[in-house]
Amino acid sequence: MVDQHKVIEALWSRLARITEFSFTASNGEGSATDWHGHGRGQVAVARCGDLLLFDETAKFTRSDGRTVSMRNRYRWGRLDDRVRLEHQRREEPVLLFELAPVTAQGLRQVAPHLCGADTYAADLLLHGSEIELIWTITGPRKEERLHYHYW
């Protein structure tokens, strides 16, 4: 049986020390979006009570070679037996996932996030000092995969 508290503590400790990230965005044959490329950037982490705020800035290079600047703000919350990941949009948090331990190094969303006709799912893996977060987004016009590495 997985010691959920131990996994949450290990993840929380690593999240607080994150300073950089990279990600790859890819889409499948059924996707009508052009969300395909690679990004790399910095993460500024701020602690606010039992929350960690991630301010991400990066350069994203699309598959056509065009580079664009991007910013995201995420909010991580620690619960007793899981963590919560929210996207901070217009000051209002949007719940993306609650992630619960399934192994000593892995967490999975408790329930998929539904946004309109799209379904978001996620897995998080702990590797040494690195965190790997893999999102999948499926829907009538989307078949996407976002593969993040935080360190």
Structure tokens at 4: 């959920």
Q: Report the C-alpha gap between 123 and 131 in whole angstroms.
A: 11
pLDDT in tens, 77-109: 999 899 999 999 877 899 999 999 999 999 999
Closest-CA residue to 143 (of 111, 108, 118): 118
Residue 141 one-letter amino acid = R
Backbone angles phi, psi at 63, to 5 degrees: -65, -20
Say which CATH superfamily domain 4-150 falls into. Answer: Calycin beta-barrel core domain (2.40.128.20)
* For the chain, domain boundaries: 4-150
pLDDT in tens, 5-30: 999 999 999 999 999 999 999 998 87
